[in-house]
Amino acid sequence: MNVIDHVRDMAAAGLHSNVRLLSSLLLTMSNNNPELFSPPQKYQLLVYHADSLFHDKEYRNAVSKYTMALQQKKALSKTSKVRPSTGNSASTPQSQCLPSEIEVKYKMAECYTMLKQDKDAIAILDGIPSRQRTPKINMMLANLYKKAGQERPSVTSYKEVLRQCPLALDAILGMDVYGYLLAREGRLEDVENLGCRLFNISDQHAEPWVVSGCHSFYSKRYSRALYLGAKAIQLNSNSVQALLLKGAALRNMGRVQEAIIHFREAIRLAPCRLDCYEGLIECYLASNSIREAMVMANNVYKTLGANAQTLTLLATVCLEDPVTQEKAKTLLDKALTQRPDYIKAVVKKAELLSREQKYEDGIALLRNALANQSDCVLHRILGDFLVAVNEYQEAMDQYSIALSLDPNDQKSLEGMQKMEKEESPTDATQEEDVDDMEGSGEEGDLEGSDSEAAQWADQEQWFGMQ
């Protein structure tokens, strides 16, 4: 039993202070005499020493030692590939007990989170191949992505945790972000199913109430969404998603000042989440506080860096002032250069092109954006642009696609109805007698569906709640 084995056993026994003293001494000796320990032994010493520093909450020093350990492991891997086996049986058990490189990276990510360096934590975990990620790595990634406002990667990681561990309740409850994404895409039936699953697990957590609230919000039942958001906050006052839900409901109900309070609290809890700032800026714009919105957008741009999202957010505010229209155009072009498929940037660029009546350019922009994705808003706007250039049949097709993606999209429905009313005089004459005979049968059907929707909306029970 060599000295490295003793260090390993002390680490396993939780004698961290002893490990720190002995490993520090041995590393100093190794630096003075590089031949004292083999590369695998040096790697182990660095990891055990870093672990002891981590236990003593010296996270910055621990990161430094973990980094050195990974460099040593990388050199060791290259050496083992080049150097042929000597048949020394003693090397086999030594290689088998080497600390896991994946575990070292996880510990580094933990250090970074304790140092509030979430970007570095995400970077180190993201560098681990997907197949090698353990459930705890995916869980940490999911939480980090959620905290950073990266919704889709967060959902993907939560799903991977649940694939590996179906009863991981924290991962299940973390799916409130998924519910929000589904609701935003108009997939309200899926949101309802997700809400039922979450309520069946527990109604004492904020997440089921948030998912239910997202369904209500995107069904335009803002009072209901407000109640559900408030209930979620009551269960967890630190739920950022609940604060965003309640803030959005208040804003859409015209209670902008109250909404501002909730978005500011969300920013305090999650200063790296862009959607918190987006909600606050929308409130400023709704109350015509353009100056406050511009200051906030500029601060976000400087704080979070120049990426497609922050560029688009700043451009959104610039579009509100005729003086800064050209700046908005420049910002949107930069955003689309970085991410040609970023929907919010495409929508704002289309809005600008519509103002300039550059419909052909807008059509080209939207077709390009829809080449690799399908989005209700993009199809609807493309329909509007096609109407402007008298391409009525294709416009109708685009409105139909938009409604198939989100049956509740009122603007797409209005676009279709407007086109139906603007039929050619010949068609109108041919159908005049039929209209006289049948009356307003079609309108009656629409009224019936509205009545049915109102009756459903007034029901008090929702996911088993009174």
Task: Give the pLDDT score at 252.
Answer: 96
Distance CA 451, CA 251 (A): 27
Alpha carbon 452 to chain centroid, angstroms: 35
User: CB neighbours of 409 closer than 8 A, spacing ≥ 6?
Assistant: 186, 376, 377, 380, 402, 403
The SS3 assignment for 454 reads helix
Task: Give the pLDDT score at 434.
Answer: 42
Number of neighbours of residue 187 by Cβ within 10 angstroms: 17
For the chain, how far is it from start to end, CA to CA, in angstroms? 68
In this structure, are residues 29 and 41 in contact, taking their beta carbons and an 8 Å threshold? no
Distance CA 340, CA 346 (A): 8
- Please check the confidence at residue 202 and state whether its pLDDT lies above 90: no
Task: Give the pLDDT score at 80.
Answer: 60
Question: What confidence tens digit (pLDDT) does each residue in 171-196 have?
Answer: 887 888 888 988 988 888 999 999 99
Question: What confidence tens digit (pLDDT) does each residue in 264-318 have?
Answer: 999 999 898 899 999 999 999 999 999 999 999 999 999 888 899 999 999 999 9
H helices of 219-305, in order, are 222-235, 240-252, 256-269, 274-286, 290-304
CA pseudo-torsion sign 133, 136, 139, 141: negative
User: CB neighbours of 286 closer than 8 A, spacing ≥ 6?
Assistant: 251, 256
The pLDDT-based confidence of 81 (bands split at 50, 70, 90) is low
Question: What confidence tens digit (pLDDT) does each residue in 44-64 have?
Answer: 999 999 999 999 999 999 999
The SS3 assignment for 16 reads helix
The pair of three-digit structure tokens given for residue 150, joined into one six-digit string: 């990266």
> CA-CA distances (angstroms) from residue 424 to 404, 412, 429?
26, 21, 9
> CA-CA distances (angstroms) from residue 57 to 25, 111, 114?
20, 9, 9
182, 212, 178: which is closest to 195 by C-alpha?
212
